[in-house]
Structure 1
């Protein structure tokens, strides 16, 4: 009797828990039905409630009713998503576990009305239907686990091309890395072949250098370590988030020199990022005046300076600008510390250093200029300026004059072809991103476009726009990659522009004409009152964009509860597919502005004519907030201008409420995530992909990375996670990538995408690696592990070198 009494207590607790689950499912499931969503959650909630009532009455029929819940869940889940394991598991996990619990003796025994009844027979008959239902569900789950419906496997036939790379490809010695993308071609290709698919698993740590530059009090949330180092001769050159330049011994990693510009960190700074420094060696026939700094490092700083340093000593080059420094605020329409600086390394050519800059997103309609400027590499004298609001006059601006405010900016890395005399700039938007009614005709022309400017004069040669009237922050974050292709039997100098939306635009870099077709197609209409949407957008035939539109069935969660929350959010948002305009209701933006491909770009093998990419898929939401009569956003206090010209209202950080001062709407935006913080759309969220540049086909696309470092429970499930940063490829046929949200460096066979090797990193690796030959002749892989504030990955300060024993 005491055993039965204890069972009854367990039974009552179970009934209460089942009733609470049922009530929640029925209530929120009813809301989902009212929004036009699935009826399942309402029906399941009713099933849970009936089960709970029967449990309270100690009726064995409770198990039979719950068997119907299990079978109904199984049938619904299979009808929605088939045998895709992770979506299937999210729909059935709670249902399955509750079913198992209902079969434990403490629950079943309490369902027997008479203590004198033959217990085994009565209990076996009572639980049989539920046991059968659970076995069926388990069997379907096992089958689903054994299948992979998300990966596309294939082999790049051209990857077998073992032709020797051209010597000094891109004008860089084979064993060195002179620019962010190794050369100004931006291909992220190393001609070194010592590391191969056969031996890469033998890589070992050769040395580790810790910069000592960690996040400080007062830094912005987006303090990042997005660095790609340079390797020149016997030195490696780096910069840290706080714009400290360091030279390391390329063999041992020991510090050779260190230069700290002691930046002033403005409270209005949106990012704290230094993606790299630039290198320039004076041509033999054009030595610098007085022989000063024959080789120099160009350092952009977070307080908008450009500093030239002697590559040998780290001392400022006195003849450059004002004792080694050019003030990039010169000519800006108004001085707003923190609202402008160059997060990316400039381009250095024979005679010039060409630099653009990042303008803070979504703070106001009156921000610094997106001007692009060319300075004399030796003296720092302004040679030309391309103001996107005044594109026809590149004559250096006169003293006391200013550039136009708020013009489109180029915050990422540019590419250049000195033989053609052109520099190629990926362009951002005129801020704010989600409101475009007040944009000038020049803003409309240059936003989210590739610009080709003459290196010598800054004059516009051509422009190709990837998004018209951009309202989605689909600016081009990736550096264009330059590669020579064969088109209809003719050699064509090409440019590949990867984009946040996932399309890869392949252009003739002489003219800007598409090589791969990119026809205009109709897109959703219906912007908010006062704004408009472009009737069509270009869609490249070469694309890594997600296939099809999201539906309620694509919503996901680690449990049925957060999946239901994601379905409710999905149904509450406006969504008409890609390019759904921002709205007062709130719009689902997919792909989101995290980007299918962002600043990490892609890696291109110019010999094999293949590309390796790491696309990510992450939905965002965008909700416009009308301003009240005083100009403030509804629900927000009035803003007041700070002495620096900024605002004491929350500054924009590309997530949450962004003020958009001067526009009729503020904007609330961010990733579409479940209550547990996981993406609302079903995994995979990140892949690696191999592209044949001769056929312009994506040959393989394989999910990449685990949820070990992002899930509430650190289990290394290979679900495919987003990545921020880019890959590199090598002549040895190996690609490397560190930028996934789990803390690993991985090596891949470029032919088929197979993971060949991985090593655990001490922090997030949201950066692009590089490879060089050490002075002792060893091919070296260099990776950064410093994390990313906005992504929440562990932050650190490590630079790690790997070599074969």
Structure 2
């Protein structure tokens, strides 16, 4: 019976591989699966005939599969495993007495002997040995060390922030995410323990939009932490004890047309001209998802009526269109030179009749409009008059700004015009400013320079991250005010922030062609010398848990349109790689201004997009997400678009891991010192497996003078500490929910250094939602 069942199983496997392999070969892919399928069928026939030759034929399959796998991917265990797992398991089954005995022979005395399995046993043993050896190797790992010496003894950190505090989203207006505290260091970070845990009470609701996320970085001023929540509550917490001081609910409500329900942070301001005990002498500004900016007294959470209209600034004023839920601010504004400067998020791919992407500066005390910079009308920065409107659907900035008050510049990461995947009919100004970093004059709003990172962007490659400012000492010891700009497509632009000119070279490289007839592609695209752009995908990079879903991913790979980075959108479907989450996203990177090095988390996850003619778009509500996944309707445009991660039949990525790394860069030389897999599949699979595959993540890192980099972000729920010099993981703490935020650190009155992480999950990547704020410190 065992031999018959085995023969049937081999027949089914052989047919599946032969049919799929034949289709793959016709698409121009590997012949392996077809040949392997035929080998399985031959083995099955021999099993049905009770021929011992079946074991020898299968030994050839094992050896040939092993040789083919090593030829394709070398000794990468995560690639070898799916190719050989089923084959090895079946080889071991064929060696059991239940299979070998019926294939053997009987002696004249009637004794039954099993067929010899020596060739098959030897081939299986060799495969197992190679598998074990490959588990001890990582051919994709890059090991090295960043320089440890301090280059700048008194580095510019941007802003008068006490060492033990954290006043803005990136600690200072420079956005470095660097703390000069060193009590926690590489020698003792493994001793960190939880000190307190606070729950906000703002939890994800059943009626919330899918992308309800908790991405806040707390601020620390005096002995108070200031945070916001996804539903736009502002909360003050005692920094030592974690006890709530006050809570304010903005009552921003729910709206199913909002693409995002989140808050990345609040903004703090101290009015130096006010008496210390005066009401609203210190303020917290709360952006809301119904497009308001609210000023609160930092001491008690009361609304400050002297700001704008009884404490509330309406950000929809001047918008040419104003459908509720289409425009809001998810990121904290920046304060510089007495002005609070703010942009806003416009729903991606909802409608061409979208609000303007205007950047506005208001008087920080009164809320009076000082200037407005609209990329659709960039030379007119004086405040628009009553009844006037900004340019509809101009490129917007939904991320965080940075500022240099000495140079008088604020740095804006700009996105694209709706729809992201269709470029026809864009104006000259849109073509100039889309997907760029723009430096605006803090006092007038005039643009001083623009650095575009994608030409004629058809891929939603917004500049997603706060530009990071520091001074870089060049080899000739000249000091250059620099800007580090991470991008979705993997390039990191290192620019002179005075002029936008590159410190590390930028080259133009030929780009794929073949846009739809109504559109066009840029002939070249810029690439920075400092880059984490991925290698072009090949069929051998397709992946799966088994050889079967891997084969399907190979077939799909050839069915999509793909010629590398910047392959244009198409009606048949296009692979977008890097995908819409980007290599870098709003979490940006962290830099050490003393050592002039950078720590970041490059992520690699391919997406697909498929244009849908307007006439073929299904009725409203069917498979509709209007975000990174599902149908984006693009009302007013000739095409909608289906988008989503490039996943296989088992809903895991079709591309092979790693999908996420930690990496360190010497910003003086532009060289990447190390790049290591980051994160496990612990929370990605039904079983809590601690396999360090290297997983995707959304969030940001933080660096301390103690030589430690902290990062959550990965889709397994951990906060980790790394050696900044080598990238070695030094410590981790299990989080009660997804850690898709950026950690921060501060000191309390008794001198202890705390590290704080917000764990609330992320709707788009499916991590566990929550409402936790957790503080860690060394034992007393």
User: Normalized against structure 2, the TM-score is what?
Assistant: 0.97
Deviation at 1:60, TM superposition (A): 2.0
Do 2:52 and 2:115's aligned partners in 1 also have CA atoms closer than 8 Å?
no
Deviation at 1:497, TM superposition (A): 0.5
Which residue pairs with 1:374 in the alignment?
A: 361
Which residue pairs with 1:346 in the alignment?
A: 333
Deviation at 1:515, TM superposition (A): 1.2
Counterpart CA distance in 1 for 2:645 and 2:669 is 35
1:796 pairs, out of 767, 770, 780, with: 770
Secondary structure at 1:411 match in 2: coil
Counterpart CA distance in 2 for 1:124 and 1:718 is 41
1:394 pairs, out of 370, 381, 405, with: 381
Q: Return 698-707 or 649-658, whichever deviates more.
A: 649-658
Q: Name the Cα RMSD after superposition.
A: 1.8
Q: Deviations over 1:33-87 (max 9, x none)?
A: 1100001111111111122222222222222221111111111111111111111
Which residue pairs with 1:267 in the alignment?
A: 256
Which residue pairs with 2:83 in the alignment?
A: 91
Which residue pairs with 1:3 in the alignment?
A: none
Counterpart CA distance in 2 for 1:204 and 1:172 is 26
Which residue pairs with 2:498 in the alignment?
A: 510
2:756 pairs, out of 775, 782, 791, with: 782
2:669 pairs, out of 695, 698, 703, with: 695
Secondary structure at 1:170 match in 2: coil
Deviation at 1:291, TM superposition (A): 4.5
Confirm whether residue 211 of structure 1 aligns to residue 193 of structure 2: no
1:141 pairs, out of 131, 145, 149, with: 131
Counterpart CA distance in 2 for 1:264 and 1:289 is 34
Do 1:499 and 1:598's aligned partners in 2 also have CA atoms closer than 8 Å?
yes
1:417 pairs, out of 376, 397, 404, with: 404
Counterpart CA distance in 2 for 1:693 and 1:179 is 23
Do 2:624 and 2:630's aligned partners in 1 also have CA atoms closer than 8 Å?
no
Is the alpha carbon distance of 1:111 and 1:307 closer, same or farther for their aligned partners in structure 2, counting shifts above 3 Å?
Answer: same
Q: Deviations over 1:549-569 (max 9, x none)?
A: 111011111111111111111
Secondary structure at 2:195 match in 1: strand
Q: Deviations over 1:114-143 (max 9, x none)?
A: 5977767x4252x22211110111122122
Counterpart CA distance in 2 for 1:105 and 1:762 is 49
Counterpart CA distance in 2 for 1:27 and 1:561 is 11
Do 1:614 and 1:687's aligned partners in 2 also have CA atoms closer than 8 Å?
yes
Which residue pairs with 2:290 in the alignment?
A: 303
Which residue pairs with 1:326 in the alignment?
A: 313
Counterpart CA distance in 1 for 2:170 and 2:54 is 64
Do 1:451 and 1:463's aligned partners in 2 also have CA atoms closer than 8 Å?
yes
Counterpart CA distance in 2 for 1:625 and 1:578 is 22
Counterpart CA distance in 2 for 1:65 and 1:648 is 51
Secondary structure at 1:736 match in 2: strand
Do 2:663 and 2:674's aligned partners in 1 also have CA atoms closer than 8 Å?
yes
Is the alpha carbon distance of 1:623 and 1:167 closer, same or farther for their aligned partners in structure 2, counting shifts above 3 Å?
Answer: closer
Confirm whether residue 490 of structure 1 aligns to residue 478 of structure 2: yes
- Give the 5 Å matches for 1:619-638: 619-628=606-615, 634=616, 636-637=618-619
Counting matched residue pairs gives 778
Do 1:429 and 1:473's aligned partners in 2 also have CA atoms closer than 8 Å?
yes
Which residue pairs with 1:123 in the alignment?
A: 114
Deviation at 1:512, TM superposition (A): 1.0
Which residue pairs with 1:465 in the alignment?
A: 452
Which residue pairs with 2:229 in the alignment?
A: 240
Deviation at 1:648, TM superposition (A): 9.2
Deviation at 1:110, TM superposition (A): 2.8
User: Normalized against structure 1, the TM-score is what?
Assistant: 0.94
Confirm whether residue 109 of structure 1 aligns to residue 109 of structure 2: no
1:770 pairs, out of 744, 763, 776, with: 744
Query: Structure 1: which 5+ residue stretches go unaligned?
Result: 1-7, 629-633, 640-646
Confirm whether residue 479 of structure 1 aligns to residue 466 of structure 2: yes
Counterpart CA distance in 2 for 1:752 and 1:264 is 46
Q: Return 573-582 or 229-238, whichever deviates more.
A: 573-582
Counterpart CA distance in 1 for 2:597 and 2:429 is 36
Deviation at 1:654, TM superposition (A): 1.6
Is the alpha carbon distance of 1:288 and 1:571 closer, same or farther for their aligned partners in structure 2, counting shifts above 3 Å?
Answer: farther
Do 2:231 and 2:253's aligned partners in 1 also have CA atoms closer than 8 Å?
no
Deviation at 1:217, TM superposition (A): 2.5
Which residue pairs with 1:604 in the alignment?
A: 591
Is the alpha carbon distance of 1:147 and 1:22 closer, same or farther for their aligned partners in structure 2, counting shifts above 3 Å?
Answer: same
Counterpart CA distance in 2 for 1:290 and 1:461 is 40
Is the alpha carbon distance of 1:333 and 1:169 closer, same or farther for their aligned partners in structure 2, counting shifts above 3 Å?
Answer: closer
1:655 pairs, out of 629, 632, 649, with: 629
Confirm whether residue 190 of structure 1 aligns to residue 182 of structure 2: no
Secondary structure at 1:771 match in 2: strand
Secondary structure at 2:685 match in 1: coil
Counterpart CA distance in 2 for 1:559 and 1:46 is 18
Deviation at 1:711, TM superposition (A): 2.7
Deviation at 1:676, TM superposition (A): 2.0
- Give the 5 Å matches for 1:586-605: 586-605=573-592
Q: Return 714-723 or 188-197, whichever deviates more.
A: 714-723
Do 2:343 and 2:360's aligned partners in 1 also have CA atoms closer than 8 Å?
yes
Which residue pairs with 1:221 in the alignment?
A: 210
1:405 pairs, out of 388, 392, 395, with: 392
Deviation at 1:252, TM superposition (A): 0.4
Which residue pairs with 1:66 in the alignment?
A: 58
2:522 pairs, out of 528, 534, 539, with: 534
Query: Structure 2: which 5+ residue stretches go unaligned?
Result: none
